[in-house]
A = this chain, B = another copy of it.
Amino acid sequence: MPVGTRATVKAISPEELKELNTEIILANTYHLMLRPGEKTVEKMGGLHKWMNWDRPILTDSGGFQVFSLNQKEGLVKIDEKGVEFRSHLDGSRHYVTPEKAIKIQQKLGADIIMAFDECAPAKSSKEYFTQAMRRTHNWLTKCKKTNSKSKTQALFGIVQGGTYKDLRIESAKFVAEQNLPGNAIGGLAVGESKKKMYEMIETVIPHLPEEKPRYLMGVGTPDDLLEAVDRGVDMFDCVLPTRIARHGTFWTNKGTHHIKNQKFKNSKNPLQKNCDCYTCKNYTSSYLHHLIKENEIFGHRLMTIHNIHFLLNLMHKIRETIDKGTFPTFKKSFLSKYKKKQ
């Protein structure tokens, strides 16, 4: 899922997203509840109509942002009922409960909505991780109840538990037992090593039902997608392809590159040979080097298109090779080329 934090996938249009075969996008409850407010979005007919996007949308619950954008300043107060935090925009106070997080998401109107969870800071004690996980489970029950009458919005639960195997197993079992339409793994890709992240995925996956989507939140890089799919993950979201694009970083099958590098100044080549994205079919690296150096908006768009195309195309190939039974070979071959040049 490309990320459209504020109801727009930065730098590109809904039509471009469709041309890239985007099937679903993510929008952020935290940002939208603060500005323009969920009531405005509801009045305007909901997210789909407002942003001119008629394919699926997933909204996160705001839990992750409440903690990650506020924890440094100690602006978050947590109790069993919910979380008080200050807006990172204007310092205004807000109190979000699991019930409220669901009601906000109901107003936004996404197709998939997420449970309100506590994403404990990475440096917390195991005791705290246990406490936060149990609170997350308690909140999940409340979210489920609040959304029980909805016939249009599918609620996904979120597994927490930090990097503790026993907590992750306890959490996965609890979330799976709720029998929701999909299950997510939260609290990873927050600073732990890749090895540890893969280990946690391996720990959790066997306890989440195979017939329902398993969604790894906030991931990731091309190699992370391959490794996570290999371990049983079906869905991802990440700001990476769009965010790095605007700074001039792009992916090819040989790894990560920076368009501002002087070697691209006079290059007539596209970002990647044989790539069939709009950017590669119409523009040279020289032109993109110029646009990004000059901070031109059209450069942001062109780089974003390439990176989303690269990642969605990778996912397409992953699905294709899984169907054919050649995924292990594809993964090995992709990673050997991709990592060589990084």
Contacts and interface: CB of A to CB of B under 8 A. Distances in A.
A45 B40 CA distance: 49
Contacts of A44: 266, 268, 284, 286-287
A11 interface: yes
Contact of A52 (B6, B8, B283): B283
B298 A35 contact: no
B40 A7 contact: no
A283 B298 CA distance: 20
Given A44-B287, A268-B44, A297-B297, A282 B52 contact: yes
A264 to B, nearest CB: 11
B297 A265 contact: no
A286 B35 contact: no
Contacts of A11: 297-298
Contacts of A43: 266
B8 A298 contact: yes
A131 interface: no
A123 to B, nearest CB: 32
Interface residues of A, number: 36
Q: What's the number of copies of this chain in the assembled complex? A: 2
A242 to B, nearest CB: 10
Contacts of A35: 290, 293-294
Nearest to A302: B13
A32 to B, nearest CB: 9
A19 to B, nearest CB: 11
A12 interface: yes
Contact of A8 (B286, B289, B291): B291
A301 interface: yes
A297 B287 CA distance: 20
Interface of A: 6-13, 35-36, 40, 43-45, 50-52, 265-266, 268, 282-284, 286-287, 289-291, 293-294, 296-301
13 contacts: A6-B294, A8-B291, A10-B298, A11-B297, A35-B293, A36-B289, A36-B293, A44-B266, A45-B268, A50-B287, A51-B287, A52-B282, A52-B287
Given A50-B286, A51-B287, 6 more contacts: A13-B298, A13-B301, A35-B290, A36-B286, A36-B289, A45-B268
In the A-B complex, the 3 residue pairs with the closest CB atoms: A11-B297, A8-B298, A52-B282
